[in-house]
Amino acid sequence: MPLADYVNALQRLRTDSGAAKYPASTLHRAPHKPLLLLSVLDLAARGELSTNFVSLTIDLGTLFADYWKLVMPPARRGNLALPFFHLKSDGFWHLVPQQGKEEAFAAIRQIAGMGQLRETTIGARLDAELRMLICIAETREQLRNALIEQYFHPDHHEALRQQAAINLGAFQYSETLLNQPRSGQALLAEQPSNSKQQVRRQGFRRAIVKIYDHRCVLCGLRLVTEEWKSVATAAHIKPWRIDHNDDPRNGLCLCGTCHTVFDLGLAGITEQYRVTLSRQISIDGNRAGYISTLENRELIMPDNKSYLPDLNALQWHLDEVFLR
């Protein structure tokens, strides 16, 4: 199929509609399918669509969630399973069932959530011709514009295009940090000034949670929902505001509670990579819970030892932040 035919197909997606269910930002239509397709275009822009197969991954889920937040009210939760399953009705998206689950898959008419989708499906196969168009920058942007202009209010067009640029910049920045940790700053100079910090923060977080597989280095907690929402945060040991250092060795993957405890100086990390706790966690009225069990616990280490937390940064934190 030529480009014009795929543009037409993308602009004629079968979507639910209703002013009571969907906001003006999405022209009162369900945004799930176009947002998933925008996310797939972003994967292609990264060079991650080497075949015409789209896998169910945390990166895809994160991209979808970031777009969702731009156009939908905070109270509405996005469900990636819905468009991933129902795009099969639009002719160019072909679901691939799990081996041995073909009959169970064929019987599904409505999808409940990611759990059911993962149990029965390994991913989706795009038309080979569409994948080729997606992997060429010029035609990819034509397809992106077709989706944005067809399914979203003009007031949101620029924000959606800007999000695509931020997603690509953050991916490139995270890869730079992972491959050449101390050279990442050069990339930021190439980004528009109004998106630099979003690119930096998103890229730093992606690098850190990837290194530690979303696991808190202090308490060991790893919790990721079916929709790939994670409790993991990316913390600087020596804050960004002091020396603008996004080197992954100046970063820790922490759950929300441990992040706060570390930033407040209630916990530190010794040169032996063990947790030390401030006596202030035991002052009258405090109920430290599981935090009190972390004393002398060995840090959760990255598999790649080249990313071990920097001892100088850890000592700075003990000297300047830790409440002795």
State the DSSP string of 96-162.
EEPTT-HHHHHH-SS---HHHHHHHEEEEEE-HHHHHHHTSHHHHHHHHHHHHHHHS-GGGHHHHHH
Question: pTM of the full predicted structure?
Answer: 0.89
Examine residue 162 and state whether it is found in any structural domain, yes or no: no
The number of beta carbons lying within 10 Å of the beta carbon of residue 52 is: 18
pLDDT score, position 1: 65
144 with 174, same domain?
Answer: no
Long-range interactions of 255-258: CB distance < 8 A, separation 24+: 255/216, 255/218, 255/219, 255/221, 255/223, 255/231, 256/231, 257/219, 257/291, 258/216, 258/218, 258/219, 258/221, 258/291
Task: Copy the structure tokens of residue 206.
Answer: 């992606």
- Of 107, 126, 152, at which residue does a domain stop? 152
Number of domains making up the chain: 2
The rounded distance, in Å, linking the Cα atoms of 199 and 170 is 5
Domain containing residue 184: 168-320
42 with 186, same domain?
Answer: no
15 with 105, same domain?
Answer: yes
Tell me the three state secondary structure of residue 220.
coil
Q: Extract the residue ranges of the chain whose pLDDT is less than 70.
A: 1, 181-194
pLDDT score, position 184: 46
The rounded distance, in Å, linking the Cα atoms of 148 and 153 is 8
- Of 118, 152, 186, at which residue does a domain stop? 152
- Of 152, 181, 204, at which residue does a domain stop? 152
pLDDT score, position 195: 78
pLDDT score, position 186: 44
146 with 186, same domain?
Answer: no
Amino acid of residue 121: T
The number of beta carbons lying within 10 Å of the beta carbon of residue 95 is: 19
The rounded distance, in Å, linking the Cα atoms of 281 and 46 is 45
54 with 178, same domain?
Answer: no
> Which residues lie below 8 Å from residue 88, measured CB to CB, with a gap of 6+?
94, 95, 124
